[in-house]
Amino acid sequence: MKKLLIAGNWKSNKTVQEAIAWLLEWNAKCQMLNAKWENATVVLCVPFTLLYPLKQEIDRLQLPIELGAQDVSPFPDGAYTGEVSARQIKELSDWVIIGHSERRKYFGETDEILAQKVDQAKSAGLHIIYCVPDKETTVPPGVDAVAYEPMWAIGTGKSDTPENAGEVIRGIKVKTNIPVVIYGGSVTQENVASFVSQEAIDGVLPGGASLDPEKFANLIKNACNPR
Ligand code: PGA
């Protein structure tokens, strides 16, 4: 059985209090559902402000979930006001998303900046999920996983078809030689199994569906324990 990567992306949502409440409720739902995921790595990519309190709680309760950031500075530690360096992120989490289409669209991130971010993340030892909107977009060397996320499918409720996503992902694998490629764009508890049952698709990157603890627990269960 292939190993899945399920990475929730909270985007710019939740306060510390809301995040801790989510974690406790998510854990309770997973236990209620008896969801098991030895065959999956579950990662929660959260705003920087939530990494520390969530890490404390995850460590305390020994929960089977890893943390990730949603961005990283293209520079090392130093005089870069407002940035969070890869070394600072690595202190609190093991994963980072780089190149999400919202970063490209609203913050003007270019392939050049993104390659710098990958270098920084890599040298700090972070696992990198690199997002691309299609199979033509360049993927810098050194990333651990690629997320294929067609822009029109993000936050719209209109996902790609599993067949097309599988086809694009096969193409990305051939082009980049990166073995782990996941799909993102309106993934839900209802459609997740149809994506991960495609041979080429190694997991999913749900945004909206990760904000609700019950939906995220169901999504994990449906991905890992298909009926
Ligand atoms: P969505 O977001 O699941 O809400 O479409 C996915 C993403 O932007 O990573």
Instruction: Note the pLDDT tens digit of each residue in 175-199.
Output: 999 999 999 999 999 999 999 999 9
Q: What is the pLDDT of residue 227?
A: 59
> Residue 61: helix, strand or coil by DSSP?
helix
Cβ of 165 below 6 Å from ligand 1:
no
Instruction: Note the pLDDT tens digit of each residue in 100-156.
Output: 999 999 999 999 999 999 999 999 999 999 999 999 999 999 999 999 999 999 999
For a ligand 1 pocket test, name from 186, 189, 211, 219 the mutation site with the most ligand atoms within 8 angstroms of its C-beta: 186
The reply to whether 38 belongs to the active site is no
> What is the rounded average pLDDT for all residues in the chain?
96
Taking the CA of residue 180 as centre, how many other CA atoms within 13 Å lie in the half-sphere pointing to its CB? 20
Cβ of 154 below 6 Å from ligand 1:
yes
Confidence band for 2, pLDDT divided at 50, 70 and 90? confident
Cβ of 9 below 6 Å from ligand 1:
yes
Pairing, β 40-45 against β 4-9: parallel
Cβ of 186 below 6 Å from ligand 1:
yes
- For residue 6, the CA-to-ligand 1 centroid distance in Å is 12
Q: What is the pLDDT of residue 37?
A: 87
Pairing, β 66-69 against β 127-132: unpaired
Active-site annotation holder among 91, 100, 127, 167? 100
pTM above 0.95, yes or no: yes
